[in-house]
Amino acid sequence: MDVVRESAGAGRVVLWEESARDGAQAKTLMPADFRVALARETGRIFGADGPRHVVFAAGFPAVCGEEFEAVRRVAAEAEGAVSVAAVCRGARPDLEQAVASVRGSRHARVMVVVPASEAMAQVMVHRTAAEALGAGVELVKRARDLDDEVAVDLCFADASRADHALMAHHAQEMTGAGAGLIVLADTVGAQLPSACREMFARVGAAAGPEVVLASHLHNDLGLGLANTLQAAGAGVRVLSASWLGIAERAGMVATEQLLFLLARHAGELLGADAEPWWTRPDLTRLPVIARMVAERTGVPLSVTTPIVGTGVGSISTGTPFVHPQLFQPFDPEQTLGIAPRVVLTQLASARVVTAVATRLGHTLDREQTRAAMDWVKRRAYRTGRAVVEDAAFADYLDGLTQHTGHTDGTDGEPR
């Protein structure tokens, strides 16, 4: 049974996770053991329903022997946590290699990339788009002959610049030959949201209900998330994403952002009657996995990274300190397990200074608070760094509370 088609047909969301495969084109390299761990952790977001909610694209076996072995290990060792996919070009040797890399793994898949636009077909296979897509039908049949337990999906490269009717026709043919999913890709990340929704709506309507469409949308214009939500709004339930958005060039929609929004706003995004989950995603896993990916790949979590960034749950000014619920769209601790943090910067108010001092074990009177606040601001400007670290502030407080609380006005240390 193709549990991914079953899930999509039932209106459930399936995440097609690309950080190990398309992420490699962001100049990252995940070794086999990390891919296995990441696949397991991603599946764990959905508990026992991981294979029905996550397709983990383990890699591109044709790259080299090490890549083949990495994909093979994910297929063997993450079995049961996710559905594992190998990705290949539309060439028979590559297809045979991809099938071999995942053979024997429950819910295994291969995704074959075929060009859909005229320009891409000429570059990739030196044929017309119709010829390239027609050859894809034969690749489906070949894959089914190789191992009918391995589901085969087709990714239409450069679908955003391809003919809708042509894609719909061949999607029907491929599905009739045994294809599981038809993935429409905005390969260059240049599609606008209205055009994206129109593409999925038109191709889906023309192809018919047996065809299960999936999205793969890049972020070159910063529209990967918006476009993916447009695809979901058009009825697509298999949605490609990548942890931290890592993928070719400017990346693609970030897994943590997509899952968070769908979990929190499914009714608004998918329709009031939507039932997108067999098991609701555990959003507290998102920051944990994001940090794991950032540490392994070197892709940083910044202050401004949505959902999982270092600025989430941090407070540095007075009014947000008193009324945090007015300045954040969700409760980070309740929703994500991120405890609130009060951070000292040049913007610190007396309340913020007092709160940090209390956390560090010091109770300040009014004069000491005023002196400490002055010290924090001058230190930030003197060092050129906004955040004043707890260790430096603790050292200052030790001196302040042992003396009069006055400072010498130069280096900020107590007299």
Q: What is the pLDDT of residue 344?
A: 92
- Give the separation between CA 218 and CA 162, rounded to whole angstroms: 16
pLDDT per residue as tens digits for the range 197-210: 999 999 999 999 99
Q: List the one residue out of 80, 97, 40, 42 whose CA is nearest residue 282.
A: 42
- Give the separation between CA 154 and CA 110, rounded to whole angstroms: 8
pLDDT at 382 over 60: yes
pLDDT at 389 over 80: yes
Domains and CATH numbers, the chain: 3-297 (3.20.20.70), 313-415 (no CATH)
pLDDT per residue as tens digits for the range 240-249: 999 999 999 9
pLDDT at 184 over 70: yes
Give the pLDDT band (50/70/90) at residue 392: very high
Whole-structure pTM value:
0.91
169 versus 343: which is more confidently predicted? 169
Cα dihedral across residues 227, 231, 237, 240: positive or negative: negative
pLDDT at 410 over 50: no
